[in-house]
A = this chain, B = another copy of it.
Amino acid sequence: MVAVTKNGRSAPTSERRDELLAIAARLIATRGFSATTVRDVADEAGILSGSLYHHFSSKEAILAELLKRFMTTLLDRFEKIAAETDSPREALDLLVDQAFRTIESEPDAVGIYQNESSFLATQQGFEFVSEHSARIEQIWMTAIRDGQASGDFRASVDPAITYRFIRDSVWATGRWFRPGGRHTAESLSAHYLDFLHQGLLAD
């Protein structure tokens, strides 16, 4: 059942498994979870649909593993930023920057996260989605609130609403940003931070 490779690492992980996960992620991100069939994934991988069940216990398990991997590493990165920064403004800037880098490096996972997580949050076996979302929200809102307390950020904006505005506009970038085009994660991030800091109005 569980692969034990020669490097001694015992885990349900292998190169082939990761390939299949990546294929599934790409299809699910573009067509949606329930519009993606196990036969679609198997076809893309060059195997029969039944063979997928040597690697995964169910179609849902594939989705759960994709989302769990993504959200766990994302939360780790955010927690690291929160712990290692001095000023709230630096923290928020780095959080935004990290989000854009994640969009660049893992566009499929980001797409799945956006499309499926809201419905999944209430689903059995996906409790980690709302748990991790809550902890991420806490990190971002702490940065915003601390920034208001320190006088860096305007006190008149509602932290909760502002967080959602920022979160949604940043992650939604994943819907149209494709590496290799006119923009890079760096340029997008810089552009967004300027927009976020200064607003649209001229002085």
- Interface-side segment among A31-39, A54-62, A63-71: A31-39
User: Chain B residues with Cβ under 8 A from A153's Cβ?
Assistant: 200-202
Looking across the interface, which residue of chain B has its beta carbon closest to that of A177?
B164
A199 partner residues in chain B, CB cutoff 8 A = 195-200
Q: Which residues of B contact A172 (CB under 8 A)?
A: 164, 168-169, 172
**Do A31 and B168 have beta carbons less than 8 Å apart?**
no
Decide if B168 touches A175 in the complex (CB within 8 Å): yes
A144 to B20 alpha-carbon distance, docked (Å): 44
Residues of chain B contacted by A162 (CB below 8 angstroms) = 195, 200
Q: How many copies does the complex hold?
A: 2
> Once the chains are docked, how many angstroms separate the CA of A156 from the CA of B32?
37
Known: A164-B173, A164-B176. A197 touches B200 (CB 8 A): yes
A:136-182 near B, CB below 8 Å:
147, 151-158, 161-162, 164-166, 168-169, 172-173, 175-176
Given known A-B contacts A158-B191, A164-B173, A191-B157, A198 and B197 have beta carbons under 8 A apart: no
User: Which residues of chain B come closer than 8 Å to A202, judged between CB atoms?
Assistant: 151-155
Tell me, yes or no, whether A188 is within 8 Å of chain B by CB. Answer: yes
Contacts of A154 in B (CB 8 A): 198, 200-202
Q: Is A194 engaged at the interface, CB distance under 8 Å to the other chain?
A: yes
| A-B pairs with lowest CB-CB distance, top 7 | A199-B199, A168-B172, A169-B169, A34-B35, A198-B199, A197-B201, A165-B169
20 contacts between A and B (CB under 8 A): A31-B119, A32-B34, A32-B35, A115-B115, A151-B202, A153-B201, A154-B200, A155-B202, A156-B194, A157-B191, A157-B195, A158-B191, A164-B172, A164-B176, A168-B175, A172-B172, A197-B200, A198-B199, A198-B201, A199-B199
